[in-house]
Amino acid sequence: MHANPEELELKDRLNLIESMIAEGRRKTESWGWTFVLWGVAYYVAIAWASLGHSNLAWPVTMIAASILMGILISLRAHKDPETTLGRAMAAIWIAMGVSLFTILFALSLSGRFEFHVFVAIVGAFLGCANAGSSIILKWKMQFACAVVWWACAVAACFGSENQVTGVFLVAIFFCQIVFGIYGMMREARKQRQDAAHA
């Protein structure tokens, strides 16, 4: 018995959606280095702020990391055509980054910056961006990062400063450094597989 044309069209559409999701995941893996970059930037800002007690530590470090990321992106200049899914992923992360920088910079300038509130905001925003990406890409590993960031945000509302610092450092390590390295390793493995098949 032959499948009717409607079933074939539906199957073709589902295959297209699945291939777009797989491509989106591969693209995200190729950006693993940005997770590592920002994880290192967070650690630098935390160390500078705690050692130097400077209100400039976070804004200066975040601006420097943004500039460095822009330079590295321009050097990598992908030749792949831009896709709707790629624009959606970029939109989530750019919107999160601009929103996070805006609110934290305003809190700092107004003198209302407080560490617990800072960690709660960072955890909530990063949880939101990771969750949005993971839902679009059907990627459980990235959703796990979202859960860790949300747990960090909740812990910031209840823990002591030492507890919150510990939770924040652990969240950065697993959700930025480890997840970024995981993405980079998956990208490298796929590149080796593609080279072997070529």
Residue 171: its pLDDT value, please? 97
Domain count, the chain: 1
- 10 Å CB burial of residue 174 (0-12, 13-18, 19+) is middle
Q: Quick check: pTM over 0.85? A: no
Query: Which has the higher per-residue pLDDT, 110 or 120?
Result: 120
Residue 169: its pLDDT value, please? 97
Query: Which has the higher per-residue pLDDT, 41 or 14?
Result: 41
Confidence of residue 141 (pLDDT cuts 50, 70, 90): very high
Residue 20: its pLDDT value, please? 61
Q: What is the dihedral of CA 160, 119, 64, 49, to 10 degrees?
A: -20
Q: How far apart are the two ends of the chain, measured CA to CA in Å?
A: 37
- The answer to the question of residue 89 being in a domain is yes
Specify whether the CB–CB gap between 156 and 167 falls below 8 A: yes
Confidence of residue 3 (pLDDT cuts 50, 70, 90): low
Integer CA distances (angstroms), 42 to 8, 62, 164, in order:
49, 8, 15
- The answer to the question of residue 155 being in a domain is yes
- The answer to the question of residue 158 being in a domain is yes
Taking residues 117-127, what's their average pLDDT?
96
Residue 15: its pLDDT value, please? 65
13 pLDDT more than 80: no
Could you list the residue range(s) of the whole structural domain that residue 122 is in? Answer: 84-197
142 pLDDT more than 60: yes
- The answer to the question of residue 164 being in a domain is yes
- The answer to the question of residue 69 being in a domain is no
